[in-house]
Structure 1
């Protein structure tokens, strides 16, 4: 009984961290705590779009075309594709679409993080204000650059664009993904921005100021370079803001099989970063307790679907074992779902067809079981394991 109580109590406490952090943020907001707004410069920032690509001949042209079509001064932006160990026509098609292309051939150190670090060493960053990382399977909204410019000055900050679902009506998985993305970007991350807390970096749509790169460099080489950068920059006191109106779109996996390696990589990468950098984060003298607590909540959060699966499994365990603290444990588990429920409903209500999206959640129980399995399977990917690309349609 003691083992059950300790286990469930510990997991419930971890799952409660994001809810507690948001409650603290709301209190700070009510007390008048706001992020200080800075006056943007007269000229729009100079942007360098880096597109790491490995054998992306099917999608690279549409990505580059979207960058060429930005409603942004042509003299203030550049698009550079990094053809990383490609054996297809990625480089040729990228150039035909209008981008500069760097070809990298390094079989010993492959992968997106290494390719970006290599490309950054090739670029004259003194002529750039912010570097924007765009995945090759992505289409960028025409107003992405304008939205980023409205958040200027950008050189000493990092930003995360709204990484939205390009195919939200393809099935239950894609509809749920669109709802959860809206809940995060339009509500959860918006709250963080208002009170001056850092939003997570998500790999695709990251915008990193060149003063940040000059001071702190690109030192993220795990399979989850986005979470590694988020933790390193947060520890150093670098502001990271979410930009709701700076949108980019990529296709969400339509099937469980297609998304399996991706979900395992996300989970394993996040846990790897947490294990390596948690002491540095907690011991940082450059950020306050609220930011440390919120970053810890982000790094330990398993994601909403896995969160729901853990609560369900642990609630069943408590119901069967019936420890003396059962009522308290069940209350804590239930309370940890409040944040998830609020943001999900909020994300649902802003969808063009909320009823259809609500019906998609009938698939949630099956998806929850599968996601739990994928999360536990992620253990085999802990550490610096090779990246496995998600299968393309």
Structure 2
């Protein structure tokens, strides 16, 4: 019976994660809530940039086209060894430079920008990566939502595929879409905070100016969002604001980017989920439990790998003993999650991921095994810029 109870526990945990994902996938199809807009307050956009001379002009032009005369565009050229600062100045925006080789990371750059703004603080601070573009009207949407709710906001942040996309880049873009669009949409429908996703983040000055963002976190967005959620300032989803970036075309850059994202996310799960559950029991705030459950769901490829392994083990055990409880605990929520992913593909991504490329998903998942192996043997802990 020891084996039975062991399998029951791991099946229960895996089934819970699959169930959370399934609920989020289906909840995303609930009707859109009617949005109210507040006053369009003055905005300061901080653009942290490390060696981004190739693409920063396009980013700044997309921001300038939708800025008001009262807005400020501030580029933080952070430990740059190229002409990023000169390229930014050529567009007419405000530029400050930071050189501190012992403190590297986007969090330090954001903090440097915030300290610079303290002399004349804006009503709203927006963070936009230097390799992103905002669709027209996005700044207005973010500023107006922050004004109305008094809470931080996260724009819809999506990835474009390379000019010549391969099966892996299509599947990767789909996984990114599930994480940054479908799941935040579901949380928003449920009236819950969402995770910050790195670019297109907007904050009331009163919120961002009172927390410590200076760190070398490789997923600084998650850390900032969780700090705010604990202070009852959980970010809200702003689906009408859309931010685009591009998946790297270089295979080595793709691996580096995925490694940074997924190692940082997994480390955050192990560090913060227990704290959120503890805080839930202390305070009784159901929001903290909901955030803990959402954060607990690992990257999609890892969840598929683990679930396939657990399903196989419990199936073998069921065939050998005729005890099917562990198997059912995995398979039932797994089927619901699989159907939810199919529905999400049809509703959100069928133009990005043609049906025939679904066959490449198993290969995509298997290729990420090395990333998860390295999380155990050689975890990435330092921030590294993605080469594009």
Deviations 1:43-94 (A, max 9, x none): x122211111111111111111111122xx5224221111111111111111
Q: Pick one of 234, 237, 248 that aligns with 1:242.
A: 237
The 8 Å contact of residues 82 and 104 in structure 1, kept in 2 or not, is answered as yes
> CA shift at 1:224, angstroms?
1.5
- Structure 2: where are the runs of 5+ without partners? none
Change (3 A) 1:123 1:59: same
C-alpha separation between the residues in 2 aligned to 1:355 and 1:273? Answer: 29
Q: Which residue of 1 aligns with 2:198?
A: 203
Q: Does 1:391 align with 2:379?
A: no
> CA shift at 1:19, angstroms?
2.6
Greater CA drift, 163-172 or 223-232: 163-172
Greater CA drift, 4-13 or 364-373: 4-13
Q: Pick one of 328, 334, 349 that aligns with 2:331.
A: 334
* TM-score, structure 1 as length reference: 0.84
The 8 Å contact of residues 160 and 243 in structure 1, kept in 2 or not, is answered as yes
> CA shift at 1:181, angstroms?
4.2
Give the SS at the match of 2:141.
Answer: helix
Q: Pick one of 47, 66, 74 that aligns with 1:80.
A: 74
Q: Which residue of 2 aligns with 1:158?
A: 152
Change (3 A) 1:15 1:122: farther
> CA shift at 1:268, angstroms?
2.4
C-alpha separation between the residues in 1 aligned to 2:15 and 2:91? Answer: 46
Q: Which residue of 2 aligns with 1:232?
A: 227
Q: Pick one of 366, 369, 379 that aligns with 1:369.
A: 366
Give the SS at the match of 1:74.
Answer: coil
C-alpha separation between the residues in 2 aligned to 1:39 and 1:188? Answer: 22
Q: Does 1:167 align with 2:164?
A: no
Greater CA drift, 278-287 or 264-273: 278-287
Deviations 1:129-151 (A, max 9, x none): 22211111111112211222442
> CA shift at 1:108, angstroms?
0.9
- Structure 1: where are the runs of 5+ without partners? none
Change (3 A) 1:355 1:226: closer
C-alpha separation between the residues in 2 aligned to 1:203 and 1:325? Answer: 48
C-alpha separation between the residues in 2 aligned to 1:254 and 1:326? Answer: 48
The 8 Å contact of residues 156 and 212 in structure 1, kept in 2 or not, is answered as no
Deviations 1:186-218 (A, max 9, x none): 543222113221111111222122111234343
Change (3 A) 1:338 1:316: closer
Change (3 A) 1:299 1:94: same
C-alpha separation between the residues in 1 aligned to 2:258 and 2:7? Answer: 25
For the aligned residues, what is the CA RMSD?
A: 3.4
Q: Which residue of 2 aligns with 1:252?
A: 247
